[in-house]
């Protein structure tokens, strides 16, 4: 799902660089609230990639810990799929109404990224599990 988010970010930036409505003298990439959305996409992707790669690295480098990694694995799924969904939503906001058009890829990104929210483990069960681990850290 991060791949979908990265593609949406890239296409949103390209769109913003090239789209200039009649009401502006510059492309929308020069408008501060569009830049804010691009910046927000960047930090969400940085966070998601960092968490995902750190978890994958731990899985690879500490095989003896794998049986204890369920909370971390569930949390990384929750974080990455939600970040991806948020990035695609920001891309849609940049594209505006054009994002709903089949002439642009945004509507497909928007639809496809949401599949991650419905794949297990579900967000609510992950949050409950994490709460249980925080409240009772010594229980297995």
The 8-class DSSP code of residue 62 comes to: -
Q: Does 138 or 54 have the greater pLDDT score?
A: 54
The reported pLDDT for the residue numbered 138 is 87
Architecture, CATH, for domain 2-16+33-135: Up-down Bundle (1.20)
**pLDDT tens, residue by residue, 95-127:** 999 999 999 999 999 999 999 999 999 999 999
d(CA 27, CA 45): 24
Give domain limits for the chain. 2-16+33-135
Asked whether the beta carbons of 57 and 46 are under 8 A apart, the reply is no
Buried b (16+ CB within 10 A) or exposed e, 49-58: eebbeebeee
Q: Which of 50, 114, 42 is nearest to 76 (CA)?
A: 50
pTM over 0.75: yes
Q: What is the largest CA-CA distance in the chain?
A: 62
d(CA 33, CA 30): 9
**pLDDT tens, residue by residue, 38-88:** 999 999 999 999 999 999 999 999 999 999 999 999 999 999 999 999 999
């Amino acid at each position: 799902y991060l791949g979908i988010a990265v593609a949406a970010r890239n296409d949103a930036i390209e769109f913003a660089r090239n789209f200039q409505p009649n009401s502006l003298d510059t492309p929308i990439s020069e408008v501060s609230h569009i830049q804010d959305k691009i910046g927000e996409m960047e930090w969400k992707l940085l966070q998601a990639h960092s968490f995902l790669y750190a978890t994958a690295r731990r899985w690879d480098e500490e095989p003896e810990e794998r049986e204890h990694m369920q909370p971390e694995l569930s949390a990384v799924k929750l974080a990455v799929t939600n970040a991806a969904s948020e990035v695609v939503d920001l891309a849609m906001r940049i594209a505006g109404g054009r994002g709903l058009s089949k002439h642009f890829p945004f509507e497909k990104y928007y639809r496809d990224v949401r599949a991650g929210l419905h794949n297990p483990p579900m967000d609510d069960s992950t949050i409950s599990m994490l709460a249980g681990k925080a409240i009772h850290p010594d229980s297995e």
